[in-house]
Chains A and B, each alone.
Chain A
Amino acid sequence: MADLITIAVDGRDVQVPARIPLIEALRHWAKVETPAFCYHEDLKVAGNCRICLIEFEGPRGWQLGISCHMQTAPNLKVRTQVSSPGVVKARKGVMEFLLVNHPLDCPVCDKAGECTLQDNYMSQGRHESRLRDEVGKVYKGGADHRFTDTKGGDRGGKRIDLGPSIILDQERCIVCTRCVRFMRDVAGSEQLGVVGRGDHAYLTTFPGQPLDHAYDLCTTDVCPVGALTGKHFRFQQRVWNLKTVESIDPSDALGANLTIEYSFPGAQGARVWRLMPRRNPEVNKSWLANRSRLLYQQLASNRLGDGKVAGADVPLDDAVAAAAKALAGARRIALVASGHATLEDNAALLALKDALGERAEVFGGSWLAVGKPDGIALSGDPVANRAGLRLLGIPDNLDLLAQRAGEFDLLLSVQHDLWAADPAKAAALAAIPARLVLASWQDATVAQATIAIGVRCWAEARGTMVNCQERIQVLGACPVLPNPALEPAWQVLARLAGLSWSGEAEAFKAAQARSPRLAGLSYRAIGPQGRVLAPAAVPAAVGA
């Protein structure tokens, strides 16, 4: 890169980009672990926690400065904890002060295991406590929540219900103001604030006003301690018991990056416990809408775990056999693709179309209303893979299907809840006598199906989607919850087409065969942050 400059970190020269926060240069370029509580990559700098103190050479010799607020500049000389006892001492001091009034009850704190304060105590503090009981801790919190504990301590600010999704523990708060800055600068709704001064400063909302924003759960992510916890996850699970897999938000065309956190099949049973935003500076930064975050709650409820034929539950294999028979006997078949399904699923649908030949016709698009982007982590388009449909050459013509419903004697839809999207328009589809539905939930379309086949949902099958930025992103798979025998939709469709694809990679290859813009990609090449697809080739001008 042309714009790299040289700074000296602990006496060694390091190449870093110019004018980036020094803390980023230390962490990612000099590879010096630098702690922070108030600093957050996607929030404005507040510089109040002081744990990222380093020494730099200023006009009056070496002096302490905070690396989050300083920027890289040529000839900057920095000393970190690696070479400076002064930095170690200053950070130890900050840690001691942070812990003076912080409850030391990690074993019962919900944040334990992912608490920045805990982590930094282990890396920067490790001091013997010098605090005496008589000196005590000060009361932290609003007057409404004050109480005297069994030891006579002046306590308060516990379990404060801030609104529909958040519980606040004022005693645990270290006043880093990350949540305040998130609400003010990102969410754009100043619902949180720090009131009071000195060690009596505490976090709260306006009197009588709740914290009720569509993104307020992000405050629990940025909270470095156990002060803000989400009602949905609070005391549900110890975080070190969870496994993670990277995926994206399947409910919006931005495809906000997220992590699925689930427990092992075993003593506790396989279960998804939460979805956490996964940072992607180009997509959702560090944010995830509450709506997307709570999608996991649907994963184990109202699922279509088996097949249905004429309304009666049947084993999956029987439903697939019935479907194959229906397809074989049908005269005109409407295949409905879905922007809620992956490229793999839709590629399998197109493979089925090829197998069925002239009898089948593919329809695509969605009847769902498209809203406006909120500028944070939602594009407003609920059809996550709409760009993927375009990429595969699937038309946007659902209305046409409704008009021509009378021509068909079999409808096959994949992961597409037509009757929920627009019941009035979908009513015309009831004219098609056989309705074959592949779905993960017992939704309105399954209720209209003559044959329904349960398939894995977005969180259970690896696949890819293309977001509204033309970025292809991978959805990872966690254990299959309702029925381990469920297959991904692409696999069912491939079987119906008489193909035996060995895995999702083969389904992805089938998708690649249909779009040159997918050439050369693989799940590994796409990577955790996704890849923006190469622009479509412009056809050569006639006569050139």
Chain B
Amino acid sequence: MPHPTHWKGKELPNVLRRLFDVPGGHRLAVARQHGAYSTIGATLFDKSPFELIELVKDSGLRGRGGAGFPTGMKWSFVPRGTGKPVYLVINADEGEPGTFKDRLLMARDPHLLIEGMICTGWALGVRTAYIYVRGEMLPQIQALNHAIREAYDAGLLGENIAGSRYSLDIYVHRGAGAYICGEETALINSLEGYKGQPRLKPPFPAVSGAFANPTCVNNVETIMAVPWILTHGAKAYRRWGTDKSPGSKLFSIAGDIGRPGVYEIPLGMPMPEFFELAGGVVGELQGCIPGGSSAPVLNAEECAKAAMDYESLAGLKSMLGSGAVMPFNATRDPVAILRTLTRFYAHESCGQCTPCREGTGYAHRVLDQVAEGKGRDGDIDHVRDLADQFEWTTICPLATADAWPIKSFTGKFRPAFDAYLAKNPDRAKPRELTQLEPGAFM
């Protein structure tokens, strides 16, 4: 089904979705008919890098990978004139469960990513850029490689882009599918050929990232918004969204919803309205994960109050995250959902920090017991306590991303969990002590 162009009489933003419904839009010739690379020329090269950074700052564009950090400010952290090369790394790992926007963007409009990278590269003085793509996304990798080849052939990449003084090379790097490689320092480790484990910060990537050089890591969607902002200006971008969350954003919605898919909407749209746009909730809404699996779940009342922007969801103690919206209806079992989520985080823990390595797995095993009807009194509080113990105590936020669903699901849907405990007739039995057998551990 094609992407809707209008909603309630108003035109929906068209920053990122321009080629969603254009057959063959991933090919240069077709993309050019729709305005691809129109910025590559005087529009870009007449602007100084400083002016471009200021423009992006003015637009209020924020990182679309999950953290929502202001993009222009991130760029301004990259030191200039250090004599070291500056790398641009595109984070196309898109591992957050529920998120499927970047894969669509890369398959349908790879040239927009390249164009955005040229703009960003110009702003930051980048000579070499990488696209770190999740290994499973084969069609996207093929589309990107094909598009890059076309761009080189058309003089849009390599030496002296479009006859300018600026040169840029782009390499596609295929990851191996680890969730944690979406964390920027783990991504850099993986890019360098090391195990994908987050690095200690400081130093931050802007100062010492890929190959110990200044590095800017940006999400696919973020970078793809840059050419539009460059063409139309910061003010035009700000006509959508709220003051602190300006512009448009892609949301990938799935679950108990009429028309699951990727939608580009202005930030700040009320959540019920967005559900309506996406075909309406199927059945009676029980709750919704608003920003990828790490985002604390909202119950139906909170959903009614929520708007699709960073501040509104933060106000509800959740987050916009990567824009993966997962509503579920009253027939769904919160215990089963949480069990699946904790299994994911236990599986994806990189194994570096103690609390995450041992804690996420252990918490999941306790929840397994609960879900299998073998839970004991106190198990739910125990798991919540464990979540407290691994929240914010590790190098990266993976354990925190496990703690949030645990705490929000057990907090907001507690009766469902207690019902599972009630299935165990022995639930009040005291803990049995392990009896060591001689020789058992030798």
Contacts and interface: CB of A to CB of B under 8 A. Distances in A.
A50 interface: yes
Given A101-B358, A108-B442, A199-B357, A93 B389 contact: yes
B208 to A, nearest CB: 14
B152 interface: no
A151 B348 contact: no
Nearest to A132: B431
B158 to A, nearest CB: 36
Interface stretch (A23-31, A41-49, A262-270, A480-488): A41-49
A132 B195 CA distance: 33
Contacts of A132: 369, 376, 431-432
B305 interface: no
Interface in A316-364: none
Interface string B388-409: 1110111100000000000000
Nearest to B434: A133
Contacts of B195: 194
B437 to A, nearest CB: 6
A47 B394 CA distance: 9
A150 interface: yes
A153 to B, nearest CB: 8
Contacts of B347: 197-198
Nearest to B359: A97
Contact of A198 (B348, B437, B441): B348
Interface in A494-517: none
A135 B349 contact: no
Contact of B395 (A48, A101, A194): A48
Interface in B317-366: 346-355, 357-362, 365-366
A134 interface: yes
A234 to B, nearest CB: 12
Contact of A197 (B348, B353, B362, B442): B348
A56 to B, nearest CB: 13
A50 B394 contact: yes
Contacts of B174: none
Contacts of A149: 440
Given A50-B353, A105-B441, A199 B390 contact: no
B392 A150 contact: no
Contacts of B350: 197-198
B362 A135 contact: yes
B215 to A, nearest CB: 20
A50 B200 CA distance: 12
Contacts of B392: 63-64
A349 to B, nearest CB: 53
User: Looking at A108, A136, A151, A199, which has the most chain B CB atoms within 10 Å of its CB?
Assistant: A199
A48 B395 CA distance: 7
A48 B353 CA distance: 4
Interface string A146-182: 0001110000001000000000000000110000000
Contact of B441 (A98, A108, A199, A201): A108
A97 B358 contact: yes
Nearest to B432: A133
B440 A150 contact: yes
Interface string A84-113: 000001100110111011011100100000
B384 to A, nearest CB: 13
Contacts of A104: 434
A97 B354 contact: yes
B374 interface: yes
Interface string B197-241: 000100000000000000000000000000000000000000000
A433 to B, nearest CB: 61
Contact of B200 (A47, A93, A96, A133): A47
A90 to B, nearest CB: 6
Contacts of B42: none
Interface string B279-301: 00000000000000000000000
A331 B73 CA distance: 91
B162 to A, nearest CB: 43
B301 to A, nearest CB: 29
B433 to A, nearest CB: 8
B172 to A, nearest CB: 24
A64 B352 CA distance: 18
Nearest to A45: B200
A99 to B, nearest CB: 9
B402 to A, nearest CB: 11
Contacts of B382: 130
Interface string A53-87: 10000000001100001000000000000000000
Contacts of B1: none
Contact of A49 (B351, B354, B437): B354
Q: Give chain B's interface residue range (CB within 8 Å of chain A).
A: 35 or more
Contacts of B432: 132-133
A20 interface: no
Contacts of A136: 365
A199 B395 contact: no
A496 to B, nearest CB: 55
Contact of A100 (B362, B393, B434): B362
A196 interface: yes
B126 interface: no
A375 to B, nearest CB: 22
A197 B357 CA distance: 8
A310 interface: no
Given A97-B359, A135-B362, A199-B349, A51 B354 contact: yes
A96 B389 contact: yes
A138 interface: yes
Contacts of A175: 351-352, 354, 357
User: Looking at A50, A63, A196, which has the most chain B CB atoms within 10 Å of its CB?
Assistant: A50
Contact of A135 (B351, B352, B366): B366
A371 to B, nearest CB: 34
A43 to B, nearest CB: 14
B358 A98 contact: yes
B346 A199 contact: yes
B378 to A, nearest CB: 9
B374 A201 contact: no
Contact of B393 (A94, A151, A158): A94
A46 B200 CA distance: 7
A197 B351 contact: yes
Contacts of B359: 93, 97, 100
Nearest to A136: B365
Top 3 A-B pairs ranked by shortest CB distance? A93-B389, A201-B351, A105-B441
Interface of B: 178, 195, 200, 346-355, 357-362, 365-366, 369, 374, 376, 382, 386, 388-390, 392-395, 431-432, 434, 436-437, 440-442
24 contacts: A46-B352, A50-B393, A50-B394, A51-B354, A63-B392, A89-B389, A93-B388, A93-B393, A97-B357, A97-B362, A97-B390, A100-B362, A105-B436, A132-B369, A132-B376, A132-B432, A135-B365, A135-B369, A158-B442, A174-B354, A175-B352, A198-B350, A198-B351, A199-B349
Given A136-B365, A198-B357, 17 more contacts: A46-B352, A49-B353, A50-B354, A93-B355, A93-B359, A93-B393, A94-B389, A97-B389, A97-B390, A101-B361, A104-B434, A130-B431, A131-B362, A132-B369, A150-B440, A151-B440, A199-B346
